[in-house]
Amino acid sequence: MVVRGHVKWFDTTKGYGFVVAEDGEGDILLHGNVLRVFGFTSVAEGAEIVLRVQMTDRGRQALEVLDILPASAPAQETAAALPVEGAPSGPLQPARVKWFDRVKGFGFVNVYGRTEDVFLHMETLRQYGYGEVLAGDVLAVRITSGPRGPMVYEVRSWDYVARQRQAGEGDD
């Protein structure tokens, strides 16, 4: 059964969280392993999510993440949080998280084929449905010129790019 809902909470330390289903049939357990298969290690509270679920003797449980959409935020608030000077440039590119500090609210990624570190802000992650990322995570990013150098403008799971290509939608 496919169910759409919103992330109630997800705790990376515990390795699970819960989704409030739109069908009103109760919360759905979302285990970290199911989320990792989709390409995420965490998901933002409030993010819209589409799941394939099963009923167990302990309630509903996610079997597969089909899609994650960003938590909705007023456009003005999002624009104010992202200090973008230039337009995003080029296609989504593969990158690996160098480090990310959730408390500080930022970190850096290394884009394959580029020598400089690329800034990644927590608000950009939240805008695209991520709760956080961990060092070593592989992402697909679109970058732009920020006030202090290159910065991530868009972040997606690497699986997102593969799904778009399979669907024939491209990545631009």
pLDDT digits (tens, 9 = 90+) for 50-99: 999 999 998 999 999 998 886 554 433 334 344 444 555 678 899 999 99
- Average pLDDT value for residue range 17-25: 93
State the average pLDDT for the chain: 83
Predicted structure pTM score: 0.62
Q: Give the Cα separation of 82 and 59 in Å (integer).
A: 39
- Domain spanning 75-166: CATH 3.20.20.70: no
Q: What are the residue ranges of CATH 2.40.50.140 in the chain?
A: 2-69, 75-166
Q: What's the token pair of residue 79?
A: 């624009």
Q: What pLDDT, on a 0 to 100 scale, did the predictor assign at position 116?
A: 93
Can you tell me the distance from the alpha carbon of 28 to that of 25, in angstroms, rounded to the nearest whole number? Answer: 9
Residues in the chain, total? 172
Mean pLDDT throughout 147-164? 83
Average pLDDT over residues 133-152: 90
pLDDT of residue 170: 55
- Determine the average pLDDT of the residues in 120-149: 89
Task: For residues 76 and 55, give the distance between their C-alpha atoms in angstroms, rounded to a whole number.
Answer: 40
Has residue 144 got a pLDDT over 60?
yes
**CATH class of the region 2-69:** mainly beta
Q: How confident is the model at residue 29 (pLDDT cuts 50, 70, 90)?
A: very high
Given a cut of 90, is residue 20 above it in pLDDT? yes
Q: What is the mean pLDDT of residues 113-140?
A: 90
Q: Please, what's the b/e burial string for 17-37 (b: 16 or more CB within 10 A of its CB; e: otherwise)?
A: bbbebeeeeeebbbebebbee
Q: How confident is the model at residue 127 (pLDDT cuts 50, 70, 90)?
A: confident
| pLDDT value for 169 | 61
